[in-house]
């Protein structure tokens, strides 16, 4: 051990251990607690975990919260376990806004707009907002995302659209405080006619799909947030993906931005595109896309099940697609995905709290 050096042990051995094993080592000594709680270790451990084909799927059922293993894109049913949320909040009141590096940004819809950071692996959580807006969280007008800035400070972006006015703010884990930032001044995207998707992080940018419910019914916009400059911009929905009506849903696969486009021309269709060199390239079409009725939706408990994938549009329709071998092999590399009844996450040691020496 003396020849190897403890720095090598921490960087090359401990960073490869499961998050729960790392947590157990933290209680052995002050040295381990310090070294295994640094930003550098958190980032290294989360990067290694993110490169693995093993993910976790957290599903919000009506009466419980269930976590399953996803190995190579396949749901391992025998690994299913039930967990509880802090405060013993009923699962029906919870909504997952974002998943990032093992942390979930969760909203408690029962009490105004309680925002919480939660690591479901370690069980640690932190209430970061309960008094910002004096009205309930609205899944169609509120959204948010998480990211690390250039100084490795964990940030939370929260966007609120109310009474045709948009407001954006950023939370700093290091400072444990919020501050307002400039939003899309003069834009109509904050009106109640528009619906915002959950955030998808890719390449130092957070992406949102923003769609108009009413008029014009085919209007879709891509709103981007640069995490370095903390500025917003609006992009047009690519014409090559236009089907009227249609809707896009972002996800990250192999650290590249993708979008599922669900539309109806003569029949319902669902295609997967990826962003390559500022251009959208079609990857493949999903087999047998169909809308699930209410009874079928209630019977489904997971996003992925029996080589079928449950996706959604902002309109609220639950669309199920069959996964052929090509699609299944490609999707096993999904990094991040927020679905209608849960989200993927990785097991990491990332804490909702800033570690202080």
pLDDT digits (tens, 9 = 90+) for 170-215: 999 999 999 999 998 767 888 877 888 888 998 899 999 888 765 5
pLDDT computed for residue 5 by the predictor = 67
Alpha carbons 49 and 312: distance in angstroms, whole number: 27
pLDDT at position 156? 95
Q: Is residue 351 part of a domain?
A: no
Domain boundary among 11, 26, 51: 51
Q: Are 21 and 121 in contact (CB under 8 A)?
A: no
Residue 354 lies in a domain: no
Separation CA 266–CA 129 (nearest Å): 46
Q: How far is CA 192 from the centre of its chain?
A: 23
Based on the fold, state whether residues 246 and 271 are members of the same structural domain. yes
Rounded to 10 deg, the angle between the 39-50 and 19-26 helix axes is 160
The gap between the terminal CA atoms of the chain, to the nearest Å, is: 25
120 and 45 housed in the same domain: no
Residues 263, 217 within the same domain: yes
* Edge-to-edge order in the sheet of strand 308-312: 287-291, 318-322, 308-312, 304-305
Q: In total, how many domains does the chain have?
A: 2
Regarding whether 58 and 38 lie in a shared domain, the answer is no
**What confidence score (pLDDT) does residue 231 get?**
94
Q: Does a structural domain hold residue 353?
A: no
Closest alpha carbon to 165 in 197, 133, 201:
133
Residue 240 three-state SS: helix
- Let me know whether 60 and 33 are in one domain: no
Nearest alpha carbon to residue 293 among 325, 267, 319: 319
Distance CA 18, CA 46 (A): 10
Same domain, 157 and 226: yes
- Sites in the chain below the pLDDT cut of 70: 1-5, 72-74, 111-113, 130-141, 186, 213-218, 239-246, 265, 298-304, 312-316, 340, 355-357
Residue 143 is predicted with a pLDDT of 87
For 217, half-sphere exposure in the C-beta direction (CA atoms, 13 angstrom radius) is 7
350 located within any domain: no
Half-sphere exposure for 65 (CA within 13 Å, toward CB):
19
Residues 28 and 146 placed together within one structural domain of the fold: no
Residues 6+ apart with CB under 8 A from 310: 292, 300, 302, 303, 304, 318, 319, 320, 339, 340, 341
CA distance 286 to 349: 35
Q: 357 lies in a domain?
A: no
pLDDT attached to residue 135: 46
Domain assignment of residue 352, yes or no: no
Residue 41 and residue 64 in one domain: no
Question: Which long-range contacts link 150-158 to residues 24+ away (Cβ below 8 Å)?
Answer: 150/228, 152/39, 152/40, 152/43, 154/103, 154/350, 154/354, 155/227, 156/105, 156/115, 156/117, 156/128, 157/199, 157/206, 157/225, 158/115, 158/129, 158/132
Q: What is the pLDDT of residue 218?
A: 61
Residues 164 and 17 in one domain: no
Do 213 and 155 fall into the same domain?
A: yes
Inside any domain, residue 317? yes
* 57 in the same domain as 33: no
> Does 251 fall in a domain?
yes
The predicted-structure confidence for 112-123, as pLDDT tens digits, reads as follows 668 899 999 998
Q: Looking at the structure, do residues 47 and 57 belong to the same domain, yes or no? A: no
Domain with 2, as residue range(s), is 1-51
Q: Report the C-alpha dihedral over residues 168, 173, 175, 177, rounded to 10 degrees.
A: 40
What is the Cα Rg of the chain in Å? 20
In angstroms, the CA 58 to CA 303 distance is: 9
pTM of the model as a whole: 0.86
Residue 287: which CATH number? 2.120.10.30
> Which residue shows structure tokens 């040295």?
31
């Amino acid at each position: 051990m003396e020849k190897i050096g403890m720095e090598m042990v921490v960087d090359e051995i401990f960073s490869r251990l499961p998050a729960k094993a790392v947590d157990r080592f933290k209680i052995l000594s002050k040295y381990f607690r310090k070294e295994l709680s640094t930003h550098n270790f958190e980032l290294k451990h989360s990067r290694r975990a993110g490169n693995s084909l093993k993910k976790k799927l957290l599903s919000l059922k009506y009466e419980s919260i269930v976590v399953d293993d996803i190995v190579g894109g396949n749901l391992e049913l025998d690994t299913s376990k039930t967990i509880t949320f802090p405060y013993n909040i009923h699962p029906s009141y919870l909504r997952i806004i974002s998943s990032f590096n093992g942390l979930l940004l969760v909203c408690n819809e029962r009490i105004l707009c309680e925002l919480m950071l939660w690591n479901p692996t370690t069980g640690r959580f932190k209430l970061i907002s309960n008094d910002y807006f004096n009205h309930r969280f609205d899944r169609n007008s509120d959204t948010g995302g998480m990211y690390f800035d250039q100084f490795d400070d964990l940030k939370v972006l929260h966007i609120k659209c109310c009474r045709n006015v948009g407001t954006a703010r950023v939370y700093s884990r290091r400072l444990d405080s919020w501050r307002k930032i400039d939003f899309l001044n003069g834009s109509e995207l904050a009106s109640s006619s528009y619906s915002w998707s959950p955030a998808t992080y890719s390449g130092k940018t957070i992406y949102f799909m923003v769609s108009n419910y009413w008029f014009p019914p085919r209007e879709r916009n891509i709103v981007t947030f640069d995490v370095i400059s903390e500025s917003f911009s609006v992009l047009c929905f690519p014409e090559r993906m236009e089907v009227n009506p249609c809707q896009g849903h972002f996800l990250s696969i192999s650290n590249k931005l993708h979008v599922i486009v669900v539309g109806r021309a003569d029949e319902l269709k669902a295609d997967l595109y990826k962003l390559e060199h500022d251009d959208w390239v079609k990857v493949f079409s999903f087999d047998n896309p169909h809308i699930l009725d209410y009874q079928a939706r209630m019977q489904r408990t997971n996003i992925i099940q029996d080589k079928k994938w449950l996706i959604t549009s902002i309109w609220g329709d639950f669309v199920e697609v069959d996964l052929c071998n090509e699609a299944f092999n490609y999707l096993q590399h999904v990094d991040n995905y927020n679905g209608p009844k849960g989200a993927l996450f990785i097991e990491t040691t990332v804490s909702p709290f800033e570690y202080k020496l």
